[in-house]
Structures are given as structure tokens and as C-alpha cells.
């Protein structure tokens, strides 16, 4: 007998399984529309000029590899809080914000979960938009939270279902947590308008629901970081609400693999913040002890150097413009090829994700036409589960733009 006899076989995450199929496919003109990573016009990963210059500056300064403090690089945490809140709001609220460097956005969500769990004997319910980034469930369920989906997208109208959203908020269990995609909703590409955000904040404040922003696409959505941080600043500023923000620099700095992120939490009391900050330090200690240094130093160099920061703002415009133009090209292509139905939803969406709104039958058919993958991948018994999950993942036709 093995100590691990009870281990169950867990199929690989669908999106990574799809990438493996893509890599195994020998077709020379293949494009990977599955994984949310930006590609340049040659289909290559893009190191942002601002990041490249920051990296060179760090090397020149003589990079060492000592441990960072448990909470991470202090300068990076402060810069991130100021970036997200904007300097005016940051100045007002600085002493009410606890911060902790995290293993990118995923790690920030996990830290948020650990903290919410540590400060409540009765676990709050976590409301999650449907559909959403699948890891939201894994992160919160693995910590023991009960996750409840709410209807966010209407497949009939192919747009945001704001009435369902409001009615969930009006009936949600008090003292629950609601996951809010700060911008560029993954996977639908539909965000509330500014007016709708205001209504959402109003109901949440009145009903004492805790806003937990997943903020993985700031500046990457519109090209303007202030615009993309609108909802966060509205809740924390105008509505003066307590809130958590899970920040990732994976996309907007292209630092995917370096795992650069930060968890911010705004409380309504300076003393509570001091205690919350100390709890974050304790929680981080037993999880990662000391977060990784290289990426945080790069981000800090970009944020702290005027010329590099200016270049970074330009880099975000470059990426978001290209994504927008790919979206328009696809839209025009579908129309000029006479694809049946309306495709207007495609250009109403924003951000890196596009939701075609295809039925799963159509998606399966397209797979059959498009995938010239070595049969062994799909025939292999252990992988048949993956193939099935992939199909369900592709239900609705999710893809990202290169
Ligand atoms: N939230 C959303 C909605 C995402 O799309 C992603 C990345 N795909 C993340 C969080 C976290 O990504 P990372 O851990 O790489 O920062």
C-alpha cells in the first residue's frame, strides 16, 4: 500500500491542457487563442520596453538576491497602493490601507481569502459572477468558503445582465463577500458602466457586502490606468467603503512568470489597519515566508522612475491598442465572410478576452475543423477527461486576442 492510495486523479486545468495541445500541433500558421498572454505582431511574447530598461538599470546597480521582508518590498507596496488609488485618494487614506506583496494576482486572492477567514469565526459566503475566471472557485473553495455563482452574463442578449446582478446584491446574505472584476471582465469582456458601478456600490454599502476587487488588467483594458481603476476608487473614495484589491502586474507589465502582485485592504480605522497589517504578515509567513524579489524590484523601478513610468504608460497604450485593433479586424472579417447573425457584441466588449457567444455544438464543430492535433492527445485515455472539460470550457466560445 502507498501512503497516497487515497490520492484522486485530477484532470489538468483545461486552459493549460489546451495550450499543451497547441504546442504539440505542427501546423505552421497556428495561433493560440486560449491563454491570456499578450503577443506582438509576430506572435511572440513581448518584453515591455519600460521593463527591459528597468531590468538593465537594476543589473547596473548590482542586483543582489537577499530575502525580501515577509510583507515584500516596502517601496513596491507603497507605490502599488498609490498607483491603484491615485495620489489624491492615497494621500487621504494611506494610514487606513494595509498591503502585502503577493505571488501575483492569484496569490493576492489567496491572501485575501486567508485574511477574511482569519477575521471571521463564521465564514462569509463568497458571491462569484457567472461566468468567471475558473480559479476564483478553486482559491476560495480550497480555503473552505462556500461560493455562490450569480448571473452576470446573458447568453441571449450576449451582454451584461445588470438586473440579475442588482437583484443578487439586494438578496445576498448580509456580510458576504462579492468578487468584482475591476475591469476587463474575464471571460466576457463586459464591464458595468460608471453609472452601474455607482448603483452596485450603493447597494453593497447599504447591505454591508464586502467588495473584493480582482484587479488583473489595470491599464491593460483601456490603455489608461486611471480609467481602469474607476470602480476601485469609486468604492474607496466617493463611497468610503472598506474593500480589498488583488493587484497583478502579470499582464500590464508583462511580468507573468515573475509573480508580481500585491494585496491591498482598506479599513475604516487606522488601528484596525495596524492589526490587519500584522495579520497579513503572520499569514504570509506560513505560506511563502518571503515573496520573490526580482519582479517586484523591476516593477518598483518602473513605478519610481519618471521616464520609465512614462514609457510604461505608453507600453500599455501599445498593448491595448493592438488588442482593440485585433478585435475590430475579427469583427470586420466575420461580417465580410458573411458569418450569420450579429457580431456587435464583439466590439462592445473590451480587454483581452472575447466572448464569441457560439453554442457548444458550433464550438465542437470548429474544433473538429481546426484542430489537427496528433490523435494520441485526444485518444489517450487519461486525457479524454481533459478533452471533455476543454469542450465545456470553450462553451460560449471564449478566446483571447494575440
Ligand atoms: N484574475 C483574473 C480575472 C485573471 O484573468 C488572472 C489571470 N489570468 C488572474 C486573476 C491572476 O493572474 P496572475 O496570478 O498570473 O496574476
Q: DSSP secondary structure string, 6-55?
A: TPPP-PPPHHHHHHHHHHH---TT----SS---B-TTS-B---HHHHHHH
Residue 79 C-alpha to ligand 1 middle, in angstroms? 20
Measured by CA distance, the residue closest to atom 6 of ligand 1 is: 216
Atom of ligand 1 nearest to the CA of 249: 16
Residue 20 C-alpha to ligand 1 middle, in angstroms? 19
Note whether 311 and 50 are within 8 A (CB): yes
Note whether 207 and 174 are within 8 A (CB): yes
Measured by CA distance, the residue closest to atom 7 of ligand 1 is: 216
d(CA 336, CA 388): 33
What's the start-to-end Cα distance of the chain, in Å? Answer: 48
What does each of the 402 residues of the chain score in pLDDT, given as a tens digit? 999 999 999 887 777 777 888 888 888 888 777 778 999 988 899 999 999 999 999 999 999 999 999 999 999 999 999 999 999 999 999 999 999 999 999 999 999 999 999 999 999 999 999 999 989 999 999 999 999 999 999 999 999 999 999 999 999 999 999 999 999 999 999 999 999 999 999 999 999 999 999 999 999 999 999 999 999 999 999 999 999 999 999 999 999 999 999 999 999 999 999 999 999 999 999 999 999 999 999 999 999 999 999 999 999 999 999 999 999 999 999 999 999 889 999 999 999 888 888 888 887 777 766 654 433 333 343 444 444 444 333 333 444 432
Query: Is 133 tagged catalytic?
Result: yes
Burial class (CB in 10 A: 0-12, 13-18, 19+), 381: exposed
Residue 40's CB: how many other CB atoms inside 10 A?
A: 13
215 lines ligand 1 (CB under 6 A): no
**How does 323-348 read in b/e, with b if 16+ C-beta sit within 10 Å?**
bbebbeebbeebeeeeeeeebebbee
Complex ipTM value: 0.99
Residue 248 C-alpha to ligand 1 middle, in angstroms? 7
Angle between helices 49-61 and 306-336 (to 10 degrees): 150
pLDDT (0 to 100) of residue 30 = 80
pLDDT (0 to 100) of residue 370 = 60
Residue 4 C-alpha to ligand 1 middle, in angstroms? 31
pTM (2 decimals)? 0.91
402 HSE (CA, 13 A, CB side): 13
Q: Any residues with CB less than 8 A from the CB of 226 and at least 6 apart, and which?
A: 86
Catalytic one among 96, 125, 158, 251? 251
254 lines ligand 1 (CB under 6 A): no
pLDDT (0 to 100) of residue 29 = 80
d(CA 260, CA 302): 13
Atom of ligand 1 nearest to the CA of 103: 14
Note whether 72 and 296 are within 8 A (CB): yes
Note whether 341 and 380 are within 8 A (CB): no
250 lines ligand 1 (CB under 6 A): yes
d(CA 33, CA 31): 6
pLDDT (0 to 100) of residue 369 = 65
Amino acid at each position: 500500500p502507498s501512503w497516497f492510495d487515497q490520492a484522486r486523479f485530477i484532470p489538468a486545468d483545461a486552459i493549460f491542457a489546451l495550450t499543451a495541445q497547441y504546442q504539440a500541433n505542427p501546423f505552421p500558421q497556428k495561433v493560440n487563442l486560449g491563454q491570456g498572454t499578450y503577443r506582438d505582431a509576430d506572435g511572440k511574447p513581448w518584453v515591455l520596453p519600460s521593463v527591459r530598461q528597468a531590468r538593465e538599470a537594476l543589473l547596473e546597480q548590482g542586483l543582489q538576491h537577499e530575502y525580501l521582508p515577509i510583507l515584500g518590498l516596502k517601496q513596491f507596496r507603497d507605490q502599488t497602493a498609490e498607483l491603484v488609488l491615485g495620489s489624491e485618494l492615497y494621500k487621504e487614506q494611506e494610514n487606513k490601507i494595509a498591503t502585502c506583496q503577493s505571488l501575483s494576482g492569484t496569490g493576492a486572492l489567496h491572501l485575501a481569502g486567508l485574511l477574511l477567514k482569519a477575521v471571521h469565526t463564521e465564514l462569509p459566503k463568497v458571491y462569484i459572477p457567472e461566468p468567471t475566471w475558473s480559479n476564483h472557485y478553486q482559491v476560495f473553495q480550497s480555503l473552505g468558503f462556500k461560493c455562490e455563482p450569480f448571473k452576470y452574463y446573458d447568453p441571449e442578449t450576449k451582454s451584461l445582465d445588470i438586473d440579475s446582478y442588482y437583484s443578487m446584491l439586494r438578496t445576498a446574505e448580509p456580510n458576504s463577500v462579492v468578487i468584482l472584476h475591476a475591469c476587463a471582465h474575464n471571460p466576457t469582456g463586459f464591464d458595468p458602466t460608471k453609472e452601474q458601478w455607482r448603483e452596485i456600490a450603493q447597494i453593497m454599502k447599504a447591505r454591508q457586502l464586502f467588495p473584493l476587487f480582482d484587479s488583473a488588467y489595470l491599464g491593460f483594458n483601456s490603455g489608461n490606468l486611471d480609467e481602469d481603476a474607476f470602480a476601485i476608487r469609486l468604492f474607496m473614495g466617493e463611497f468610503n467603503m472598506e474593500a480589498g484589491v488583488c493587484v497583478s502586474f502579470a499582464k500590464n507589465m508583462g511580468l507573468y512568470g515573475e509573480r508580481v502582485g500585491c494585496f491591498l485592504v482598506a479599513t475604516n480605522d487606522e488601528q484596525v489597519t495596524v492589526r490587519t497589517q500584522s495579520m497579513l504578515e503572520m499569514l504570509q509567513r506560513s505560506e511563502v515566508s518571503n515573496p520573490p524579489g526580482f519582479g517586484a524590484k523591476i516593477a518598483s523601478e518602473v513605478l519610481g522612475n519618471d521616464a520609465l513610468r512614462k514609457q510604461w504608460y505608453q507600453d500599455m497604450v501599445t498593448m491595448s491598442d493592438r488588442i482593440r485593433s485585433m478585435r475590430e479586424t475579427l469583427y470586420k472579417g466575420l461580417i465580410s465572410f458573411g458569418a450569420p447573425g450579429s457580431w456587435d457584441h464583439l466590439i462592445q466588449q473590451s480587454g483581452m478576452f472575447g466572448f464569441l457567444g457560439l453554442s457548444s455544438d458550433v464550438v465542437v464543430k470548429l474544433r473538429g475543423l481546426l484542430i489537427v492535433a496528433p490523435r494520441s492527445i485526444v485518444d489517450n485515455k487519461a486525457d479524454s477527461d481533459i478533452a471533455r472539460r476543454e469542450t465545456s470550457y470553450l462553451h460560449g466560445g471564449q478566446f483571447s486576442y494575440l
